[in-house]
Amino acid sequence: MKRMMTTLFALATILGAMAQWGNQPGESVVLYDGDISVPEMKMAPNGNTWVYYQIPADENYSNLSVHLQLLDTAGNKLLGEYGLMISDKPTRTWTTCNEYLFVDRDGNAVVAVHDVRNAIEEEYLSYTLYKISQTGEFLWGEDGINLEGTQSFPLSSHMTMTQVDDGSYVCTWSSANEDLVVNTIKAQRISPDGEMLWNIDEVEIIDRTGKVNYDWPTVVDAGYNQVIIIYYVGSNRDIYARKLDFDGTPVWSEDTRLYRSGWTQVPAWSVTEVSPSGDGGAIVTWTDDRYLTGTNTYITYVQPNGEIGFAAGVDGQKLGYSNYLGSQSHCLYDPYTDSFLAVWRESFSAKAFRIMAQRLSKDGELLWGENGYEVQPFSESDYGYFTIQNGANGEAAIFYMNKENALTSTHALATVINTTDTTQRRDVLFTDNTISTGKSTLLSTAMYNDSFWTVAWVDDYLSNPSLHTQRINNDLTLGAPKDAAIEAVEAENTQFAAVISIVEGDALFVANMPAPTQAVMTVRNMNGAIVATPYQGELAAGRQYIEWSANVPAGIYLATLETAFGAETVKVIVK
């Protein structure tokens, strides 16, 4: 009856055998081997990583299925070998780029799925939202919630989402009319339990004359249960910002024009990135060719009061003043220096390329000189798929792919720079360079607990794509330390928790007592019947580990630990 491991060594033995991420570039975790499209990745507050991806639902490629996987801090797959299948409802094609993954403050994944299930006319499209817990539970039901009610449109696109102070979610997207020309921006606020809180016909951004196009919205949390929506207007791609209150009404007297455009014809989604500014505002980067001499990269900052923070006004602040062409800009707020960071690519005659970075004050001053800081010097190697994330102790990490030339493979690397003095640490290669392969779709997460980032990419070896993930530690080593799973448990402050909660065999629990106490641990099925009593006796103060051999039918079980300090219950899924 009494089975307890009292040493971390025993815990490391169990969890270390499950660890997946190795410390070499070729020791990544493959989530799916086969045709795959549009992966997304976000990190949960506890360091677990959510990954979303699509795969063909049948051999004829006539439909797709949406999958979700959760990796723990050691790289173990927590939702089965091939992840949790969210939906295989019919779409208009076997791949789509209009889905979206969001991870909330509780570590749940919210997935927006785009299909024709709610069509009022044949092949009309709409969004359905699913909320999934880290144990794989469908918190908004197995069919999700219909975001657009009785409405559907020839095309819906560009879903984005944020969470506001009261725990509700605000999402924005655009919908096209019958001519697939004039778009309307929709917005909705959803309670934590899935209730629609806004009338989307009242909150929408629309031109009632049917002549002006509104599209590509991005929503960011502005604090105080408010949000800012960055969106595009017209064929010339003016950029505007609108702030919405808790009830969906505009906060500012009029929307703020951030960019007056008129030059670039590059699609908005390929040139723009929007990030929170750290103070309730937003920062935006884009590319344009306003002087008809080639593209350059720009950045602007809208303050919480709706005013533009940079002296450049609606022209935007140019990121670098060299004579080279700029593109692929990305930005974020750096809390360590209370400033903004940006990274972009520069090219010379389409034959040489380099990676540049810039730090800007909140009034738009270029802090790394007018040309910026050269992260990687000019080379015939082409660079792409940039992402930038904050690091520990005032550093920032830049993730990118390097294609040496058309005949060689693509590699993925990370470099870390100090945001105060541009001191740069060595690059780290995290993809296998022993085999010549093409790669694409590089993703990265925010850093967890000043400890590590997670990266993902698609590897196309001999036209056989596969989705890979890897962990990059703050010291630029790869893979999970042997005690990574123990560290995750040590970070928990609860008195009773499941270390391994989705099991095929033994389940593992941690008890953390402030003082010695008598304790009884029982496991019940969903009918309330006790199926096991893994522990009964005295628990010492501090952390101890309890093992349960789950020789029971597959299903959901509730494990309860009763002590002098109260009773706590956790859920375990037995496969």
DSSP track, 398-461: EEEEEE--TTS-EEEEEEEEETTT--BPPPEE-S--SS--EEEEEEEPPPBTTTEEEEEEEEEE
Residue 142 CB: number of other CB atoms within 10 A?
Answer: 9
Q: What three-state secondary structure class fits 312?
A: coil
Environment class of 186 (CB within 10 Å of its CB; exposed 0-12, middle 13-18, buried 19+)? buried
| Contact yes or no for 483/457 (Cβ under 8 A) | no
| Contact yes or no for 217/192 (Cβ under 8 A) | no
Examine residue 548 and state whether it is found in any structural domain, yes or no: yes
Q: Residue 447: what pLDDT?
A: 95
Q: Are β-strands 502-503 and 566-574 bridged in parallel, bridged antiparallel, or unpaired?
A: parallel
Q: Residue 54: what pLDDT?
A: 85
Q: Residue 2: what pLDDT?
A: 41
Examine residue 500 and state whether it is found in any structural domain, yes or no: yes
- The letter for the amino acid at 180 is L
Residue 92 tokens read as: 């208009």
HSE-CB for 19 with a 13 A CA cutoff:
24
Q: Residue 426: what pLDDT?
A: 79
| Contact yes or no for 356/374 (Cβ under 8 A) | yes
HSE-CB for 15 with a 13 A CA cutoff:
29
What is the phi-psi region of residue 248: left when phi exceeds 0, alpha when psi lies from -120 to 50, beta otherwise?
left
Examine residue 317 and state whether it is found in any structural domain, yes or no: no
Q: What three-state secondary structure class fits 79?
A: coil
For 454-474, letters b (16+ CB in 10 Å) and e give: bbbbbbbeeeebbbbbbbbbb
What is the C-alpha separation between 355 and 384, in angstroms, rounded? 9
Torsion angle, CA of 489/493/498/502, rounded to 10 degrees?
A: -70
Q: Which of 285, 341, 346 is nearest to 321 (CA)?
A: 346
Environment class of 14 (CB within 10 Å of its CB; exposed 0-12, middle 13-18, buried 19+)? middle
What is the C-alpha separation between 222 and 282, in angstroms, rounded? 8
**Angle at CA 399, nearest 5°, toward 395 and 97?**
130
E-assigned strands of 245-394?
256-259, 273-276, 282-288, 296-302, 317-318, 325-334, 339-348, 352-360, 373-379, 382-390
| Contact yes or no for 466/410 (Cβ under 8 A) | no
| Contact yes or no for 172/184 (Cβ under 8 A) | no
Residue 317 tokens read as: 């602040």
Q: Does an H or E element contain 336, and which? A: none
What is the C-alpha separation between 3 and 343, in angstroms, rounded? 54
Q: Where residue 524 sits, what CATH number does that domain have?
A: 2.60.40.1930
Examine residue 408 and state whether it is found in any structural domain, yes or no: no
Examine residue 353 and state whether it is found in any structural domain, yes or no: no
How many domains, in total, are found in the chain? 1
What is the C-alpha separation between 273 and 284, in angstroms, rounded? 6
| Contact yes or no for 458/467 (Cβ under 8 A) | yes
Integer CA distances (angstroms), 64 to 100, 119, 504, in order? 15, 17, 28
User: For residue 524, how far is the Cα from the chain centroid?
Assistant: 35
Q: Residue 15: what pLDDT?
A: 44
Q: Residue 7: what pLDDT?
A: 40
Examine residue 294 and state whether it is found in any structural domain, yes or no: no
What is the C-alpha separation between 247 and 124, in angstroms, rounded? 29
Q: Residue 151: what pLDDT?
A: 67
pLDDT values of the chain reduced to their tens digit, one per residue, 575 residues: 444 433 433 444 444 344 488 888 888 988 888 777 778 999 999 999 999 988 877 666 567 788 999 999 889 888 888 889 998 887 766 556 677 899 999 999 999 988 877 776 666 778 899 999 998 999 999 999 988 776 666 667 789 999 999 999 999 998 876 665 667 889 999 999 999 999 888 888 877 666 778 888 999 999 999 999 999 887 777 899 999 999 999 999 999 999 887 655 555 556 678 899 999 999 999 888 877 777 889 999 999 999 999 999 888 999 988 888 888 899 999 999 999 999 999 988 777 889 999 999 999 999 999 999 999 888 877 888 889 999 998 999 999 988 765 445 678 889 999 999 889 887 888 887 776 677 888 999 999 999 999 999 988 765 678 889 999 999 999 998 765 545 554 444 467 888 777 777 778 888 888 888 899 999 999 888 999 999 999 988 877 888 888 889 988 899 999 998 888 888 888 88
Q: What three-state secondary structure class fits 200?
A: helix
Q: Residue 362: what pLDDT?
A: 95
Residue 50 tokens read as: 């959510």
Residue 344 tokens read as: 């972009």
What is the C-alpha separation between 99 and 120, in angstroms, rounded? 20
Examine residue 557 and state whether it is found in any structural domain, yes or no: yes
Q: Which of 375, 376, 385, 377 is nearest to 439 (CA)?
A: 385
Q: Residue 12: what pLDDT?
A: 41
The domain containing residue 569 runs over which residues?
Answer: 492-574
Q: Residue 289: what pLDDT?
A: 80
Examine residue 21 and state whether it is found in any structural domain, yes or no: no
What is the C-alpha separation between 90 and 566, in angstroms, rounded? 49
Q: Which of 65, 28, 23, 33 is nearest to 49 (CA)?
A: 28
Q: What three-state secondary structure class fits 331?
A: strand
What is the C-alpha separation between 239 and 374, in angstroms, rounded? 29
What is the C-alpha separation between 273 and 287, in angstroms, rounded? 10
Residue labelled with tokens 């899935």: 194
Residue 191 tokens read as: 């309670």
